[in-house]
Amino acid sequence: MFEWDWNNLRKIRAHRIEREEAEEALLNDPIPVYEQDVQGEPRVVYYGETNAGRLLAVIVTERGNSIRVVTAYDLDAGQKRDYLQRRTKGQ
């Protein structure tokens, strides 16, 4: 389901995020925030929450039947407000 290699693991570790945390945020009913196109590759930015309550932005792209995490990082204060407002509105 998730596609991992040295490169994307290195990118999330730079933000002190473990692979399991990025996966949890994507499996725990994440909110799609926006789509982007990077050099012809469609990507989606999700806001999600780990089982421990950590709020993350996770950027993914689909490759065949796999989901590749491009990177992930902690939400800043404004992003946290946006996430919580969307959750209270039922998104």
Q: What are 45-79's pLDDT values in tens digits?
A: 999 999 999 999 999 999 889 999 999 999 999 99
Domain ranges across the chain: 2-88
What pLDDT, in 10s, does the model give residues 14-23? 999 999 999 9
> What's the Rg (C-alpha) of the chain?
13
Q: What is the mean pLDDT of the chain?
A: 94
Q: What is the pTM of this model?
A: 0.92
Closest to 70 in 3D by CA, of 21, 13, 18, 12: 12
d(CA 70, CA 8): 6
pLDDT of residue 25: 97
Q: Between 11 and 89, whose confidence is greater? A: 11
